[in-house]
A and B are shown apart, each in its own frame.
Chain A
Amino acid sequence: DIQMTQSPSSLSASVGDRVTITCRTTQSINSFLNWYQQKPGKAPKLLIYSASSLQGGVPSRFSASGSGTDFTLTVSSLQPEDFATYYCQQSYSIPLTFGPGTKVDV
């Protein structure tokens, strides 16, 4: 199985901050990496697919990059609605696996 790690596990930020989250995999997954945002009591929401492509309707302050084993998600200017937990997920091979999450709070 491909294992996923994320760092940091949590971070405190303020509105307007630039935030970067890192995801690493135990083997190369090319660009088969997706990012999700989850708010309490809600299902995860797809933000980024194929490592760097913005899902429709997602604000352009979200961006992502990477390939192989190292990936990043960046929020250029954090907004109040962005305080949430963020997960990466690999879609390269079965079983599909998720990172442990990064909680972004105030």
Chain B
Amino acid sequence: QVQLQQSGPGLVKPSHTLSLTCAISGVSVSSHGAAWNWIRQSPSRGLEWLGRTYYMSKWYSDYAVSVRSRITINPDTSRNQFSLHLNSVTPEDTAVYYCTRAGSRNYDFDYWGQGTLVTVSS
């Protein structure tokens, strides 16, 4: 059974970097056909896909245009987890952040982390 467990701070100061980690159990982060995503949800923006990383003989990443200049999603194969780093945050980045898995079946998000409310405030 795949499980995703998120960790990271719930409060980040403006202009600082938001960092979250998603620990994976039940499957390898390097599994072919799976992609590891970060999604956020806020009242103003709804559900917003931020980006993904996946392994297909080598590692790839894709990011949403809205955050492309500020985001990095990295796999950590030694710990079987992946991380989100979003720099230069503003209050508009306040949201619940989710890590998810998308399988090769239809790129549906079949497993989700528990969610982390991140507030950007001084």
Contacts and interface: CB of A to CB of B under 8 A. Distances in A.
Interface of A: 1, 31-32, 34, 36, 42-46, 49-50, 53, 55, 87, 89, 91, 94-98, 100-101
B106 interface: yes
Contacts of A45: 112
Interface string B62-75: 10110000000000
Q: Would you call the interface of chain B mostly helix, strand, loop, or mixed?
A: strand
28 contacts: A1-B65, A34-B109, A36-B109, A42-B115, A43-B98, A43-B113, A43-B114, A43-B115, A44-B98, A44-B109, A46-B108, A46-B110, A49-B106, A50-B106, A50-B108, A53-B106, A55-B108, A87-B47, A91-B102, A91-B106, A91-B107, A94-B62, A95-B65, A96-B49, A98-B46, A98-B48, A98-B49, A100-B46
